Structure 1
Amino acid sequence: MQKMGNALILIILGLIVLIFPLLGVIPFSVLTGVTVLFLGLGLLFMGVASMGESAAMGIVEIILGILAFILGLGFIFNPALFSFIAALFVFIAGVFLIIAGIVAIATKTIGSRWTGLLSLILGIIYLIVAAFIKNPLYLGILIGLWLLITGIMMLFQKD
């Protein structure tokens, strides 16, 4: 019964996010921003604390802490930055898949050609998705679809 309730909540949330796509992006952006902000603060404190042991390590931690702190604030106050970074990671993964697919197709192993073709196709799909999720509206739609599909799949899943 609990699984049915969770599935219905996911379906309702998915429909709400599909109607209002930015409602799906803003919570992810803020939660990620707060996490990265705390990471930055932790790195800053660790950098200052470790300056006595290793000045080089302390400076590196302080620089990374400042970058994480700025990125965390950016995620909190600008969901478009979150969408851009997400699109960048998906784009990089797509490029890696395309390269791996080309390498696998070029090898002489029997099963690797199909694997390479699949990697190539998935890489192209990743590039297309990356082009769309630069816009927070489309990222919100993808999040809504994910919630909706997960909820529907939970309804039909057997224990």
Structure 2
Amino acid sequence: MKRLILLLFIVLVSCNKEQPTTFSEPANLEMLVGVDGTKITFREVLYKHKGKKILIDFWASWCKDCIVGFPKLNQLQKEFPDVEYVFLSTDFSQPSWKKGIKKYKIKGEHYNLPKGMNDGDLVEFINLSWIPTYMVIDEEGEIALFKATNITDKAIREALEDN
């Protein structure tokens, strides 16, 4: 009986489709590292783009799926030039992260999550278990698309088109 109740609980929790529309305070305070080595909170990054749509790409230089998706992401950048593109790398090696930006010619604003994809308040908030992961933030600073793992996901385009 206990197993049945536990199984039912797991099913109900996993079926919960409610997605957050704002970031938690700890996630907002997560420290990121800029390409130039400066530290900035995630909230400050979002604030820099206040009033604009933002596509956030969680990626790493060693991630094959991330690399394969860059040409399609470049196409989105051409189709939606007014969107801000923010790339959050989960690389532990900052030299590898910076080489990846140049090698794959990734255009946008770049930051590193120095704790990687398995630790930190921001990755915990979004339950980052796979990269690439994409999020869309609307002009009011709310989460329009909580999580997509494929750049061709139609929900990304819909969130970018939605006014």
Q: Given the two structures, how large is their TM-score scaled by the length of structure 1? A: 0.28
Q: Which has the higher contact order (CA 8 A, sep 6+)?
A: 1
Structure that is richer in helix per residue? 1
- Please identify the structure whose Cα radius of gyration is greater: 1
Q: Given the two structures, how large is their TM-score scaled by the length of structure 2? A: 0.27
